[in-house]
Amino acid sequence: MLLTKLYVTRRPGGLPHEGRLVAGNTLFPCALGRNGITYDKREGDGATPAGDFRLIFFYLRHACILHAPWRLTHPRDAWCDDESSFLYNRALTLPTQLSHEEMWRLDNLYDVVGVMDYNLKPVRRSRGSAIFFHIATSQLEATAGCVALRREDMRKLLPRLARGVCIYVR
């Protein structure tokens, strides 16, 4: 059975960035923004936004079984985090003069990137950009505001995700 809902919360008694993700009857430890979860997200605040977000599509470094929309990541893929640009919180192609997040990372944390439907329609400048569901470090170090799973946990979860799966962050 495919999953349509994922639930993310802080780990009780843990540090602000220590979270847990519930997928059906499975619990995964996850990494959150270094400042935990916020209901008032701002660009650069290091917090993960609270709310209900669809995973609208995935960037994948390598093809895998996935029922959600996806495409292979290209070395020229980027995501705009330049608050002064009309392209803020949108996909870009490198090279660019705009401030951006590179989607092709050498640390492999973006081998799987689910784009969360946060601040996309409409885009509100300075309210946060590049909020993704991606691979975490093996130590589950804090993210800049994303939700991240260890590689082996992401590998287990991806084939179970339905098209339009929603992440509920509280």
For the whole prediction, is pTM greater than 0.75?
A: yes
Which has the closest alpha carbon to 136: 3, 15, 33?
A: 33
The answer for residues whose C-beta is within 8 angstroms of residue 124's C-beta and 6 or more apart is none
What was the pLDDT predicted at 149? 98
Query: What amino acid is encoded at 4 in this protein?
Result: T
User: Which CATH number does 3-169 carry?
Assistant: 2.40.440
Note whether 54 and 166 are within 8 A (CB). yes
* Total Cβ atoms within 10 A of residue 144: 19
Which has the closest alpha carbon to 77: 55, 98, 53, 93?
A: 93
Residue 72 has φ and ψ, to the nearest 5°, of -70, 140
Q: Each residue of 15-34: pLDDT tens digit?
A: 999 999 999 999 999 999 99
Q: Each residue of 141-158: pLDDT tens digit?
A: 999 999 999 999 999 999
Q: Each residue of 46-98: pLDDT tens digit?
A: 999 999 999 999 999 999 999 999 999 999 999 999 999 999 999 999 999 99
59-63 own/partner pairs: CB under 8 Å, 24+ apart: 59/103, 59/110, 59/112, 59/113, 59/115, 60/111, 60/112, 60/113, 61/104, 61/108, 61/110, 61/111, 61/112, 62/111
Classified as helix, coil or strand, 122 is: coil
